[in-house]
A = this chain, B = another copy of it.
Amino acid sequence: MFELDIRSRKPIYEQLVDKLKELIISEVMKADEQLPSVRVMAQQLTINPNTIQKAYRELEVQGYIYSIKGKGSFVSPDTPKQNSEKMKTIKTELIKLLSEAMYLGITSDQLVEIIKEVESTIGGGSKSDSIQ
On A, residues with C-beta under 8 Å from B are 21, 61-64, 80-82, 84, 86-87, 90-91, 93-95, 97-112, 114-119, 121-122, 125-132
Contacts and interface: CB of A to CB of B under 8 A. Distances in A.
Q: How many copies does the complex hold?
A: 2
Given A109-B61, A109-B62, A104 B90 contact: yes
Nearest to A113: B130
Contacts of A104: 80-82, 84, 86-87, 90
Give the residue among A87, A103, A106 with the most B Cβ atoms within 10 A. Answer: A106
A72 B63 CA distance: 52
Nearest to A97: B94
Given A94-B98, A125-B102, A63 B115 contact: no
Contacts of A99: 118, 121-122
13 contacts: A62-B107, A80-B106, A87-B106, A90-B97, A90-B104, A93-B97, A98-B114, A99-B118, A108-B116, A108-B129, A110-B128, A112-B131, A130-B132
Nearest to A103: B122
Contacts of A21: 105
Contacts of A102: 118-119, 122, 125-126
A93 B90 CA distance: 11
